[in-house]
Amino acid sequence: MLERDPKGNIRDRLEEEPMTNRLQWDVFISSQIPAITNDLPPGASEMKWSPISSTLISGKRDAVLVDTAITVEQNQKLAEWIAASGKNLTTIYATHGHGDHFFGVNTIRKGFPNAQFVATREVIAVMQKQASAPFVSAYWKVRFPGQIDSTLIIADELKEVVIELEGEQLVSVPLGHTDTDSTTCLHVPSIGLVVAGDSAYNDVHLHLGESNAETRKDWIAALDTIESLKPAAVVAGHKRPGAADTPNIVEETKKYIRDFDRTAANTQTALELYLQMLVLYPDRVNPAVLWNSARAVKPGS
Ligand SMILES: [Zn+2]
């Protein structure tokens, strides 16, 4: 773009833009939808799934999507949003193997048949379990009857640590156990962005049902790893719509984990744990997830 500077000289603004500002990012949130389950918190009559974040990192022409949503309908909306960006989707990256972050690949690829779907080898192992017929029937189809894509695509192995986007690097960082095994985040050093998947939560109750006090130390270490990257923005896999993608959510996630472990040690039953955590966190999205966490840590109570 040509414009005049204060001295009246014409200059080209594009030439002055630093290379590092070439990438942009935006987050699409798939809003909460009902999930059918009998295991409801006291007083609740239904459960909803937490809002899910998908991040589009784009250059001038191409883009990379990080994580999809669950149902065909959610993913159709996500696909429309990507199409509206006008970018050419080259790659879909899954941060971790939970179905609620990769079941949409078939739908997204209908509009972008050349988009590669990639994840680390360890993430693929979790994906294979999540997409196996017995698990899909027993878990996902029960919660979302008639809404799960009949074609669930497993990622190809990301052989390099880096995904290239118009000459910039998006780096896959292994995080180990966070809310499930073998998770990762995607780090974009040139713009200080970390797309955290489910290692960080933003004002939504954490899924602690797959961890124990020991593996939650691994989770804290994973959050230390994210902090060591000194990000300017961190996108959580589950965030309250409209919440800022501030790096503060990393410390907030650590605090929630520590509060949960301390409260779990000082309570007898799932109900006590649930109610005491709600005193500390009265406003986080989706207390039903806290109920599941409490039941997992105190089964049969
Ligand atoms: Zn998730």
CA of 214 to the centre of ligand 1 (A): 21
**Can you tell me the mean pLDDT for 149-158?**
97
CA of 288 to the centre of ligand 1 (A): 14
CA of 58 to the centre of ligand 1 (A): 23
Task: Give pLDDT, residue 32.
Answer: 96
Task: Give pLDDT, residue 1.
Answer: 45
The encoded tokens of residue 18 equal 């630093």
Question: What's the rounded Cα separation, in Å, for the pair 301 and 86?
Answer: 53
Question: What's the rounded Cα separation, in Å, for the pair 148 and 142?
Answer: 10
Q: Judge whether 189 and 169 are in contact, CB under 8 Å.
A: yes
Q: Judge whether 186 and 132 are in contact, CB under 8 Å.
A: no
Buried b (16+ CB within 10 A) or exposed e, 152-183: bbbbeebeeeebebeebebbbbebbbbbbbbb
CA of 223 to the centre of ligand 1 (A): 16
Q: How far is the CA of 132 from the CAs of 1, 72, 73, 99, 180, in angstroms?
A: 52, 18, 21, 10, 17
The owner of tokens 């193997």 is 97
Sign of CA dihedral 240, 108, 226, 123: positive
CA of 49 to the centre of ligand 1 (A): 9
Task: Give pLDDT, residue 21.
Answer: 60
CA of 79 to the centre of ligand 1 (A): 19
Q: Is 298 left (phi over 0), alpha (psi -120 to 50) or beta?
A: beta
CA of 18 to the centre of ligand 1 (A): 35
Q: Judge whether 70 and 148 are in contact, CB under 8 Å.
A: yes
Per-residue confidence at 299, pLDDT binned at 50, 70, 90? confident
CA of 29 to the centre of ligand 1 (A): 12
CA of 121 to the centre of ligand 1 (A): 19
Task: Give pLDDT, residue 5.
Answer: 52
Task: Give pLDDT, residue 43.
Answer: 86
Sign of CA dihedral 256, 237, 44, 41: negative
Instruction: Identify which has the larger pLDDT, 300 or 131.
Output: 131
The residue type of 251 is E
CA of 130 to the centre of ligand 1 (A): 12
CA of 195 to the centre of ligand 1 (A): 13
CA of 199 to the centre of ligand 1 (A): 9
CA of 238 to the centre of ligand 1 (A): 6
CA of 189 to the centre of ligand 1 (A): 24
Q: Report the Cα 57 to chain-centroid distance in Å.
A: 14
DSSP for 67-131, please give it: ---SSHHHHHHHHHHHHHTT-EEEEEE-SS--GGGTTTHHHHHHH-TT-EEEE-HHHHHHHHHHT
Question: Residues 46-82: pLDDT tens digits?
Answer: 999 999 999 999 999 999 999 999 999 999 999 999 9
CA of 100 to the centre of ligand 1 (A): 6
Task: Give pLDDT, residue 208.
Answer: 96
Task: Give pLDDT, residue 22.
Answer: 87
Task: Give pLDDT, residue 18.
Answer: 52
Mean pLDDT of the chain: 93
Question: What's the rounded Cα separation, in Å, for the pair 192 and 84?
Answer: 25
Q: Judge whether 143 and 204 are in contact, CB under 8 Å.
A: no
pTM of the entire structure?
0.92
In the DSSP assignment, the letter for residue 209 is T
**Can you tell me the mean pLDDT for 237-255?**
98
Does residue 83 surpass a pLDDT of 90? Answer: yes
CA of 10 to the centre of ligand 1 (A): 51
CA of 90 to the centre of ligand 1 (A): 23
CA of 101 to the centre of ligand 1 (A): 6
Per-residue confidence at 19, pLDDT binned at 50, 70, 90? low
Task: Give pLDDT, residue 3.
Answer: 52
Question: What's the rounded Cα separation, in Å, for the pair 33 and 15?
Answer: 46
